[in-house]
Structure 1
């Protein structure tokens, strides 16, 4: 495939998207971590949302109610997952793995926002089918596919190491 525009601009745009997505995850995770104040980490809980905010018409409602029963596991996974994904995106380290985990998290947030099922057009707040979680998910898939972690990122150096050269499967986590 050939591009008619500067590859430099392509790199700048990927770096910009990477930094913005890192900010989205870091901010969300840090807000949750310190919601109760510095002395009360993890005061945030997903239980209220999972039990009360998922629409009854959402075809996955029972799954989210099941998650609410395991908040002691889910809550730290969400908080520290968002923080670690944000840091990995920011520094371009294990980028593809982080982008995949972020996209999976966004897909769960997206499905939780459904106000109904397929016959209703998967409505979400302010429209049908598309919301910010879906957009973030698609951006993360694109950045991972493009290997955006190599652009001013740690993954560029990691891919040069003998360990990665001897275990090429590791490249699926990097980039």
Structure 2
């Protein structure tokens, strides 16, 4: 097993560490695929043609005991916002999951997945057993996927970044990877 060295600035100090490059790529792809499946599966069960009835977040939003309960009450009490939420949660989860599985627009998917996980974390706010829960760990997974550009390994993003279109617009790489 070969190792690589990396350097990071941490609290004003330069830190070097080694990582196993032969395992790192596989691990990153595995995390990307697992989180993608998690979101795709979660979305699938919310679609009306699968669940038998349309997804409705109103009950959850109205009864949330959380630091952002006021925001949730506004969304639940505003019909058009509630309808947008009812559509965007399953569609957003599905697109995030699909993007991660395909390795396409991974950083964009990771950003929006992270936003959802923060909202879920603050919305659930069940911290009786501590502040670390599945929602927080899901957020951390999205951060790792985005920071390490997981779509560049066995993903569509690796091909997209080689196109002339992206080469001429290097800022697009912030959405890819």
Cα distance, 1:6 vs. partner? Answer: 2.6
Equivalence for 2:92: 81
Match of 1:66 among 71, 74, 82: 74
Match of 2:109 among 85, 98, 109: 98
Equivalence for 2:149: 147
Map 1:38-53; keep pairs closer than 5 Å: 40=53, 43-52=54-63
Stretch deviating more after TM superposition (125-134 or 7-16): 125-134
Equivalence for 1:157: 159
Equivalence for 2:13: none
RMSD of the alignment, in Å? 1.4
Q: Which stretches of structure 1, 4 residues or longer, exceed 6 Å deviation after superposition?
A: none
Equivalence for 1:26: 40
What residue ranges of structure 2 are gaps of 5+ in the alignment?
Answer: 1-5, 7-15
Stretch deviating more after TM superposition (127-136 or 81-90): 127-136
Taking structure 1 as the reference length, the TM-score comes to: 0.86
Taking structure 2 as the reference length, the TM-score comes to: 0.85
Aligned residues: 159
3-state SS in 2 of match to 1:88: helix
Q: Which has the higher strand share?
A: 2
